[in-house]
């Protein structure tokens, strides 16, 4: 989808020739990666801009810009692997020619200038230090020369003489001059370096210019504030005037000079009092415009104003007119105040044509992209890291290092009203409705309610910083991307994760959410598409060497911004669904920091680390809006909101100011009426005087008129007499002329009659000749016809004979041809076989030669690359060797210093060794004392051992008691689980209540929106058609929320529904509380009953244990008796044994029955140590 520049805010100050005037109204400069023509003094279209976009592939950005002497062409240099210079026509902005050097791979041209005419362009290379000259008409290189000299510093500027073919190149230690020309007739043009200047300069040369009123004079400014004069390409003298703080820029005038200082002031100089070079200029005035250095000056063609560019990216215009001793005009900031550093945050409003930004200069600024003006600038004490614009345009959220600050946008201020503790928040977003906002809090994401500032959700899952946030699905979901290579989609209200994708090793810089897909870009230079809801990759597009860092999705287009380090940022437009095709547009001048779009997709805004902000129109959307008549409206066809916020104190102050002005107005009206009365009195007196004077003059004029009337009558009589005499003479002359002409006419009549007779005689002769010719012609035609018919019959006979001969010859030819075809086919077959074999051999040979040729080409390219790499490596090693030498010298100095340190430390070590010897003596004494203490410790251990045995027994008892406590704790835990289940039920009911409240809040917001839209519709009450259309749109938009059978107003129905829901929820809550109390009482009674049953069973079990113990003792006695009988060889009584076995089995069955009954009821047998079992748990 095509994009067009709409407006640009920013100014590149790191290139040569920052700004210039194309005429008395238009400034030309670079902003972002585009050349801008700005109507700074245009009376018809203020703030208008025209653009020349840079290369779409980015390159290295602009390095220099220059205007031609006629101001009809502009040359722009762009850095790249092979730098280019492009020449454009200023009027049409069409590119006239692209200039480059095919023989030298120069990466950048640091300085540009035109020659004496528009056809000659000169450029100064950055690394090769080669000065080149081109012809714009042919695009050929005219001449080159090398400027590399021993111990020469870097060249920073290039200027051409306005009156001669001489070029001046500025370096820090002096000026170098070159002359362009042909050494002899017929030879090519060349640039000849002139002898260098031998002056001694204090400080460094910063700038220079050729004087327009002198042919061979150059003025150069130094860092110490001195101004030097060069004449005839040699140093002449130093001017008597100086610029405080050092000279940063200089520009010539027709009869003077303008200088910019390092302190931010502009000094104007006029012609001096004498012809001496040292006093060539005299101070005129000084204007202070900034605290930053004035790095560029450019004068208007009429030299009435001068544009001044400072290093903090601001452009001011000062007046060069002589104030005549009066007050001079203040400097005019011709463009809005730009960012002095990188732009860190940007967002676009939904209801107003506003863009809000924040930057590293600690300011927050709002821009209007319709009026193209800066509306608000607010400075803070800290650096803002991110910013978000509320959809209403009345609020914003700003992320700082320690907090997020919510602020109101007032009429002329930005006022903070709430702070939220979130540190290092580099990403913050409002929901589409504006009632929520999300903020990146390190590795977590927090969602807040905008109206009360409460935290609604805290989403954790990323292991590294969160880089991107996007609301989706009607603000119900939130997509996040982080530096840990993870993308999560959250249902943030419940804190539930709906989908995830994790790819370690890459950082996701931005994500966008579509209806059925998610798109992301990251550090792997790949644009990825994920299917929803499982977040699985479906498509991947390579960034083609560019790092994509920002995404915007609008309908059928995905816009991506590049953020390559050290390269201009560009915009890419991908078709959606992704096909791999894209269009690329030049945007900002450095890596892109933010990219946003309006809700309707008509406008794109992006910002860069160079402080520039560029706004683009999406052509298709703009044309669609123009066709539908919505070009001046926001999303949904509504007008841009005009509401503003104002505090009560501001309104009171304004009301008080209005009252004061009204009182002053009344005073002025009274004073004016009094002055008018005085003027009426004086004017009536003057009118009376003038009337009397008029009467006197009128009487005098009347007398004069009567005298003139008498004179007029006398003159009239004299004139009538003269006219009578003239009429008589005229009548006599007329009679004579008539007689003469009458005689001439008679002669002509006679001559005419003779000519008529001669014409009649000639006509008769021609008629006779014509009749004879006709008769001869008819006879000749009849003869020709007869002859032709005779020849025709002869031709017919001859043609019949020829036809017969042709038929016979054709048959013979066919037979011969068939025979020849057979012979030729046989011969062709033989030749084809022969030549096919040769052709196969030739093809094999050509394929073999092609393969060998390809291998040789690859080897050749590899060898060339290796040679280039070796050359680069040699250069790098030479540079590293020089660096190593410098480091060696520095290290030798450090070694000498370290030796001195070591010597001082040796002395310290000697002192410390003495202290160590003394400490060793003390240590020996302490060892003796330690031996005595060890003996005492052993004796104490012998006394402690019996007590440790007692402690171990006590520990065993404590452990047994802990076991019993653990059992009781287990039973308590079961009871806690039951309480927890009840609490979960209560929580679920509370959630349902909160959900109902949320529904009620949504309905209330819907009502507020309807009221606001109804209020907007009521503004058109004077226009019935607009009112009808607005009401129909309201009905179509909100009819779905109105019940069909509701006969009352919306407010009443909503209130009744709210009351009904509230009553239902209160009844449900009271029922749940009653059920909870009833269940708690029943549980307590059940627990008491179980405890009593438990105690009864415990008593029964103890009795059973006693009986079992007695039975075991009886069994033991019987076994002893049996053993004694066995020893006595007496067998047991079978009846007694059978009876005892039956009794034992009966007892065992009874014990098993009781045990199974207790276990079925949830009780357990007590332990053998007599401890109580745990309390039973009833389900």
Residue 458 and residue 367 share a domain: no
CA-CA-CA-CA torsion for 454, 460, 464, 469, nearest 10 degrees? -60
**Most trustworthy range by pLDDT among 137-151, 496-510, 903-917:** 496-510
Extract the tokens encoding 828. Answer: 């062709």
**pLDDT (average), residues 731-740:** 83
**pLDDT (average), residues 221-232:** 90
Domain boundary among 542, 569, 599: 542
Tell me what percent of the residues of the chain surpass a pLDDT of 90.
Answer: 26
- Residue in 184, 167, 185 with CA at minimum distance from that of residue 176: 167
Extract the tokens encoding 616. Answer: 């683009």
- CB-CB contact of 1092 with 1086 (8 Å): no
Phi-psi sector, 297: left (phi>0), alpha (psi -120 to 50), beta = beta
- Residue 788 confidence (pLDDT) above 90: no
Please check whether residue 1035 lies inside any domain of the structure. no
How many structural domains compose the chain? 5
Residue 442 and residue 413 share a domain: no
Tell me what percent of the residues of the chain surpass a pLDDT of 70.
Answer: 90
Please check whether residue 275 lies inside any domain of the structure. yes
Please check whether residue 789 lies inside any domain of the structure. no
* Cβ within 8 Å of residue 1081, ≥6 positions away: none
The CATH number assigned to the domain holding 358 equals 2.40.10
What sign for the dihedral angle of Cα 623, 627, 629, 635?
negative
Extract the tokens encoding 687. Answer: 């009118």
Edge-first strand listing for the sheet containing 49-53: 19-21, 26-31, 34-39, 49-53
Residue 467 and residue 373 share a domain: no
Residue 352 and residue 301 share a domain: no
From residue 376, alpha-carbon distances to 28, 310, 336, 356 in Å are 25, 22, 10, 9
Residue 655 and residue 743 share a domain: yes
Residue 452 and residue 413 share a domain: no
Long-range pairs for 525-532 at CB < 8 Å and ≥24 separation?
527/558, 527/560, 527/574, 527/578, 529/578, 530/487, 530/501, 532/489, 532/499
Residue 451 and residue 394 share a domain: no
- Residue in 135, 36, 18 with CA at minimum distance from that of residue 93: 36
> Which residue's entry shows tokens 């370690």?
504
- Residue 154 confidence (pLDDT) above 50: yes
Q: How do residues 481-536 score in pLDDT, each as one tens digit?
A: 999 999 999 999 988 999 999 988 889 999 999 888 999 999 888 999 999 888 88
Residue 399 and residue 421 share a domain: yes
Structural domain that includes position 1151: 1106-1161
d(CA 449, CA 435) in angstroms, rounded, equals 6
Domain boundary among 755, 782, 802: 755
Mean pLDDT check: name the lowest of 430-444, 548-562, 916-930.
916-930
- Residue 149 confidence (pLDDT) above 80: no
From residue 777, alpha-carbon distances to 82, 275, 764, 774, 781 in Å are 88, 104, 20, 5, 6
- Residue 172 confidence (pLDDT) above 90: no
**How far does Cα 464 stand from its chain's mean position?**
25
Please check whether residue 371 lies inside any domain of the structure. yes
Mean pLDDT check: name the lowest of 205-214, 374-383, 584-593, 594-603.
205-214
Q: Is 1124 exposed, middle or buried (0-12, 13-18, 19+ CB in 10 A)?
A: exposed
Phi-psi sector, 280: left (phi>0), alpha (psi -120 to 50), beta = alpha
Confidence of residue 334 (pLDDT cuts 50, 70, 90): confident
Q: How do residues 73-122 score in pLDDT, each as one tens digit?
A: 999 999 888 889 999 999 999 999 999 887 677 888 888 999 888 888 99
Please check whether residue 277 lies inside any domain of the structure. yes
Please give the pLDDT value at position 1127: 62
Average pLDDT across the chain, whole number: 83
**pLDDT (average), residues 25-43:** 88
- CB-CB contact of 165 with 179 (8 Å): yes
Please give the pLDDT value at position 527: 92
Please give the pLDDT value at position 1170: 42
Please give the pLDDT value at position 249: 93
- Residue 389 confidence (pLDDT) above 60: yes
Q: Is 368 exposed, middle or buried (0-12, 13-18, 19+ CB in 10 A)?
A: middle
d(CA 296, CA 306) in angstroms, rounded, equals 10
- pLDDT: is 1134 or 1100 the higher one? 1100
Please give the pLDDT value at position 184: 46
From residue 782, alpha-carbon distances to 777, 785, 794 in Å are 9, 5, 19
Please check whether residue 532 lies inside any domain of the structure. yes
Residue 218 and residue 283 share a domain: yes
Residue 474 and residue 531 share a domain: yes
- Residue 1166 confidence (pLDDT) above 50: no
- Residue 188 confidence (pLDDT) above 60: no
Confidence of residue 1167 (pLDDT cuts 50, 70, 90): very low
Residue 354 and residue 252 share a domain: no
What is the per-residue DSSP string for 328-353?
PPPPEE-SPPPPSS-EEEEEE-SSSS
Residue 723 and residue 659 share a domain: yes
Report the 10 Å Cβ neighbour count for 1098: 14
d(CA 142, CA 159) in angstroms, rounded, equals 18
Please check whether residue 1115 lies inside any domain of the structure. yes
- CB-CB contact of 112 with 16 (8 Å): yes
The CATH number assigned to the domain holding 498 equals 2.130.10.10
Please check whether residue 349 lies inside any domain of the structure. yes
- pLDDT: is 290 or 1020 the higher one? 290
DSSP 16: B
- CB-CB contact of 221 with 250 (8 Å): yes
Domain boundary among 363, 395, 426: 426
């Amino acid at each position: 989808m095509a994009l067009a520049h709409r407006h640009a805010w920013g100014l590149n100050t790191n290139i040569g020739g920052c700004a210039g005037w194309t005429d008395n109204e238009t400034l030309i400069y670079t902003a972002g990666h585009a050349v801008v023509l700005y109507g700074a003094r245009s009376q018809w279209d203020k703030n208008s801009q025209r653009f020349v976009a840079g290369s779409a592939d980015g390159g290295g950005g602009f390095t220099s810009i220059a205007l031609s002497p006629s101001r009809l062409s502009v040359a722009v240099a762009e850095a790249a692997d092979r730098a280019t210079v492009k020449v454009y026509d200023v009027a049409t902005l069409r590119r006239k020619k692209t200039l480059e050097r095919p023989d030298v791979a120069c990466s950048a041209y640091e300085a540009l200038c035109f020659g004496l005419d528009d056809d000659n362009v000169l450029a100064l290379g950055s690394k090769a230090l080669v000065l080149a000259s081109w012809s714009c008409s042919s695009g050929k290189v005219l001449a080159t020369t090398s400027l590399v000299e021993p111990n020469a510093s870097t060249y920073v500027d290039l200027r051409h003489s306005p009156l001669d073919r001489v070029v001046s190149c500025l370096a820090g230690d002096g000026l170098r001059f070159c002359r362009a020309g042909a050494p002899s007739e017929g030879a090519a043009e060349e640039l000849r370096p002139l002898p260098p200047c031998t002056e001694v300069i204090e400080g460094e040369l910063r700038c220079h210019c050729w004087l327009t009123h002198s042919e061979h004079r150059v003025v150069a400014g130094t860092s110490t504030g001195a101004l030097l004069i060069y004449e005839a390409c040699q140093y002449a003298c130093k001017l008597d005037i100086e610029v405080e703080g050092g000279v940063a820029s200089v520009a010539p005038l027709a009869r003077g000079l303008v200088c910019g200082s390092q302190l931010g002031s502009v000094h104007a100089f006029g012609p001096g009092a004498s012809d001496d070079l040292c006093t060539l200029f005299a101070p005129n005035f000084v204007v202070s415009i900034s605290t930053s250095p004035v790095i560029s000056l450019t004068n208007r063609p009429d030299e009435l104003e001068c544009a001044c560019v400072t290093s903090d990216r601001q452009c001011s215009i000062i007046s060069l007119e002589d104030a005549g001793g009066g007050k001079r005009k203040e400097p005019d900031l011709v463009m809005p105040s730009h960012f002095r550093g990188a732009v860190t945050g940007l967002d676009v409003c939904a209801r107003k044509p506003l863009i809000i930004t924040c930057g590293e200069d600690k300011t927050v600024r709002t821009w209007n992209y319709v009026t193209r003006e800066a509306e608000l600038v607010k400075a803070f004490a800290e650096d803002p890291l991110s910013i978000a614009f509320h959809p209403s345009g009345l609020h914003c959220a700003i992320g700082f290092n320690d907090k997020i600050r919510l602020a109101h946008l007032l009429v002329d201020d930005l006022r903070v009203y709430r702070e939220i503790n979130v540190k290092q928040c580099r990403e913050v977003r409002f929901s589409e409705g504006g009632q929520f906002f999300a903020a990146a809090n390190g590795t977590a994401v927090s969602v807040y309610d905008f109206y009360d500032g409460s935290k609604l959700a805290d989403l954790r899952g990323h292991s590294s910083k969160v880089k991107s946030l996007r609301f989706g699905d009607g603000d119900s979901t939130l997509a996040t991307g982080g530096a840990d290579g993870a993308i999560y989609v959250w249902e943030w209200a419940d804190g539930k994760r709906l989908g995830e994708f994790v790819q370690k090793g890459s950082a996701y810089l931005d994500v966008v959410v579509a209806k059925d897909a998610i798109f992301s870009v990251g550090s792997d230079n790949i644009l990825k598409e994920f299917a929803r809801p499982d977040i699985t990759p479906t498509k991947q597009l390579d960034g083609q060497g560019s790092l994509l860092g920002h995404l915007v999705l609008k309908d059928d287009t995905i816009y991506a911004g590049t953020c390559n380090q050290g390269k201009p940022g560009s915009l890419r437009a991908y078709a959606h669904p992704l096909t791999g095709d894209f269009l690329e547009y030049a945007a900002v001048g450095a890596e892109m920091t933010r990219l946003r779009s309006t809700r309707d997709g008509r406008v794109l805004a992006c910002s860069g680390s160079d402080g520039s902000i560029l706004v683009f129109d999406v052509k298709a959307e703009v044309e669609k809006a123009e066709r539908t008549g919505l070009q001046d409206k926001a999303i949904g066809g509504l007008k841009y909101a005009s509401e503003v916020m104002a505090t009560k104190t501001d309104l009171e102050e304004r009301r008080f100011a209005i009252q004061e002005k009204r009182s002053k107005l009344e005073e002025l009206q009274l004073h004016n009426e009094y002055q008018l009365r005085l003027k009426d009195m004086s004017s009536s007196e003057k009118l009376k005087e003038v009337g009397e004077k008029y009467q006197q003059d009128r009487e005098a004029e009347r007398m004069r008129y009567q005298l003139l009337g008498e004179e007029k009558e006398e003159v009239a009589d004299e004139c009538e007499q003269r006219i009578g005499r003239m009429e008589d003479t005229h009548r006599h002359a007329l009679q004579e002329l008539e007689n003469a002409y009458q005689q001439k006419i008679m002669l002509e009549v006679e001559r005419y009659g003779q000519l008529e007779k001669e014409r009649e005689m000639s006509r008769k002769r021609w008629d006779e000749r014509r009749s004879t010719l006709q008769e001869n012609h008819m006879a000749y035609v009849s003869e020709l016809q007869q002859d032709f018919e005779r020849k025709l019959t002869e031709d017919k006979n001859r043609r019949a004979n020829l036809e017969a001969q042709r038929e016979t010859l054709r048959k013979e030819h066919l037979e011969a041809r068939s025979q020849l075809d057979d012979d030729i086919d046989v011969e062709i077959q033989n030749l084809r076989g022969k030549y096919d074999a040769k052709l196969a051999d030739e093809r094999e040979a050509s394929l073999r030669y092609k393969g060998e040729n390809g291998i040789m080409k690859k080897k050749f390219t590899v060898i060339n690359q290796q040679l280039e790499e070796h050359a680069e490596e040699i250069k790098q090693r030479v540079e590293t060797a020089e660096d190593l030498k410098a480091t060696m010298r520095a290290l030798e100095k450090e070694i000498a210093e370290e030796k001195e340190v070591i010597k001082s430390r040796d002395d310290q070590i000697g002192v410390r060794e003495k202290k160590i010897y003394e400490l060793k003596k003390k240590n020996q004494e302490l060892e003796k004392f330690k031996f005595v203490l060890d003996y005492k410790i052993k004796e104490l251990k012998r006394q402690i051992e019996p007590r440790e045995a007692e402690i171990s027994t006590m520990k065993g008892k404590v452990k047994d008691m802990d076991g019993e406590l653990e059992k009781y704790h287990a039973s308590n835990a079961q009871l806690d689980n039951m309480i927890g289940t009840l609490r979960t039920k209560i929580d679920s009911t509370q959630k349902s209540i909160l959900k109902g409240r949320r529904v009620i809040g949504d309905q209330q917001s819907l009502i507020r929106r309807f009221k606001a839209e109804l209020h907007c519709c009521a503004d058109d009450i004077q226009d019935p058609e607009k009112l009808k259309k607005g009401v129909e749109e309201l009905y179509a938009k909100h009819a779905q929320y109105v019940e069909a059978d509701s006969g009352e107003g919306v407010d009443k129905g909503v209130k009744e529904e709210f009351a009904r829901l509230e009553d239902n929820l209160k009844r449900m809550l009271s029922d749940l509380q009653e059920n909870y109390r009833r269940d708690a009482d029943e549980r307590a009674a059940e627990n008491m009953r179980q405890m009593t049953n438990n105690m009864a069973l415990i008593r029964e079990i103890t009795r059973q244990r006693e009986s079992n113990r007695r039975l075991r003792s009886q069994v033991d006695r019987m076994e002893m008796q049996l053993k004694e009988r066995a020893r006595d060889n007496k067998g047991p009584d079978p009846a007694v044994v059978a009876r005892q076995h039956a009794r034992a089995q009966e007892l065992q069955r009874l014990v098993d029955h009781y045990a199974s009954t207790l276990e079925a009821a949830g009780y357990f047998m007590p332990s053998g140590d007599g401890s109580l079992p745990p309390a039973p748990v009833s389900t």
